[in-house]
Amino acid sequence: MNGDANQGSGIRVRLFGRTDVGQIREHNEDNFLVADLTRKSRSLMEGDRVQNVSERGTLMGVCDGMGGAAAGEVASQLAVDIIYEKLTSGDPPRNHDDLGRRLVNSVEEAGGRIFGEARADRTRRGMGTTATIAALLDGRLFVAQVGDSRAYVLRGDKFVQVSRDQSLVNQLIEAGQLTEEEAETFEHNNIILQALGTAETVQVDLTYVDLRKGDTLLVCSDGLSGMVRADEMREVLLSHREPFDACKELVDRANRAGGHDNITVIVAVFEGALADPGPQDVLAYQKYALPEAPAEATMRAPSVQQPEVYATPPASQEAQRESRRLRVGHTMVGMSNPMAGATPATGTALGPRVSNATPTFAVEDDPVSIPTSGLPPSLVGMLVLCAMLLVAVAGFLLLR
């Protein structure tokens, strides 16, 4: 799309979504979002499972909450609600750049609001959620990514992950320090480096796919991708062309494989006014570079304190099991990154520090004043050097 978005693109989407608690967890902390943004409808009733993509587009997203008790569920529900609210407000998007920027801004806003909720309620400190959100206006599909939920596209018999996991294991694989086979049994393969709500700001990874007729999108939490191999997911999508049937089969297979986590899937098949697949088509992970935003568009909206509408049950054993998902890379103001100097053979830094627990500092805490001698740093350095020389000379004389 090079100009204005037209009223009705001629593209039709058949879609469905399903979420399941799995075999191990006590409750479901996942949430998903399927919406016709033009009609402002989030229904999956039978009549809403086919959408005609219009001026605002279609939205599909999966959020995998973390935090134990009900906190993870709160975070993922807040994320889908805020993203939907932001993308249905204002005028329809004008072009690709406008849609991409709105999508990124909506995910950033969700992260900031969840972080504020966690600070306001001590029982929810450390809650967070992944977010893999796909938005379609015409033939170009955008994917905004935070965390390790995933988006795949099936074209013909080619099945490609079009998002990139923001996880420790993925960084080690890309750095050449871990193979795909080793990653399956890697001790820390569930450590994610970023999540909405665990820091005031997030870096949203924005990618895109130019769709072709017959393409199928799969968006899922790691409850599916961690239990079912990619070639098996591809097989299900090829053999079950109805999204309802595909979602059911994928969830069933994850449960049969052990169902160690909550399982959430969305399947969408794209038809109508799209080009037929061709040999020159690109289907891959492709980052989308947004141009500089206008000055008025870069101003951050003030944080809105939301009314408390969720009840928090007492903590259970599941809160302890969630500790593996709380190991999120935090950027701490004023602290150096202890992994910043660890550079693998490929020259790619390992990224943010991964902590074993949520930091307990608060942004509003007063800074710590550290007393000093008041001497210039150069003079202090000279005095230290002289002292070291004197110690060395004394040691030499004593050893003679």
DSSP string, 346-358: TS----SPBPSS-
pLDDT digits (tens, 9 = 90+) for 101-114: 999 999 999 999 99
Residue 74 confidence (pLDDT) above 80: yes
C-alpha span between 186 and 171 (Å, rounded): 13
C-alpha span between 71 and 73 (Å, rounded): 5
C-alpha span between 364 and 16 (Å, rounded): 43
pLDDT for res 288: 96
- In the chain, the amino acid numbered 342 is A
Q: What is the mean pLDDT of residues 344-360?
A: 34
CA-wise closest residue to 243 among 220, 262, 263, 216: 216
In this structure, the number of other CB atoms found within 10 A of the CB of residue 321 comes to 14
- In the chain, the amino acid numbered 255 is N
Provide the pLDDT confidence category of residue 390 given band limits of 50, 70 and 90: confident
244 burial level (CB within 10 Å; 0-12, 13-18, 19+): middle
- In the chain, the amino acid numbered 55 is E
| Mean pLDDT taken over the chain | 81
C-alpha span between 400 and 368 (Å, rounded): 47
Q: What is the mean pLDDT of residues 86-95?
A: 95
Residue 95 tokens read as 């072009």
C-alpha span between 61 and 34 (Å, rounded): 7
pLDDT digits (tens, 9 = 90+) for 41-58: 999 998 899 999 999 999
- Name the DSSP class of 5: P
Q: Where are the beta strands (DSSP E) in the chain?
A: 11-20, 30-36, 50-52, 58-66, 128-129, 131-136, 140-146, 150-155, 158-161, 205-210, 216-220, 263-272
Domains of the chain: 11-297 (3.60.40.10)
70/238: higher pLDDT: 238
In this structure, the number of other CB atoms found within 10 A of the CB of residue 355 comes to 15
pLDDT for res 85: 97
C-alpha span between 159 and 231 (Å, rounded): 8
Structural contact between residues 192 and 170, judged by C-beta atoms closer than 8 angstroms: no
List the single range of 41-50, 106-115, 128-137, 143-152 with lowest mean pLDDT.
41-50
pLDDT for res 159: 98
Across 148-157, 339-348, 384-393, the highest mean pLDDT is recorded for 148-157
Write the DSSP string, 273-302. S-PPP-TT---S--B--PPPPPGGGSSPPP
Residues in the chain: 400
CA-wise closest residue to 285 among 221, 195, 206, 176: 206
CA–CA distances in Å: residue 379 to residues 373, 374, 375, 382, 389: 11, 10, 7, 5, 15
Provide the pLDDT confidence category of residue 310 given band limits of 50, 70 and 90: very low
Q: What is the mean pLDDT of residues 162-186?
A: 86
Residue 372 tokens read as 């000093």
Structural contact between residues 138 and 92, judged by C-beta atoms closer than 8 angstroms: no
pTM: 0.74
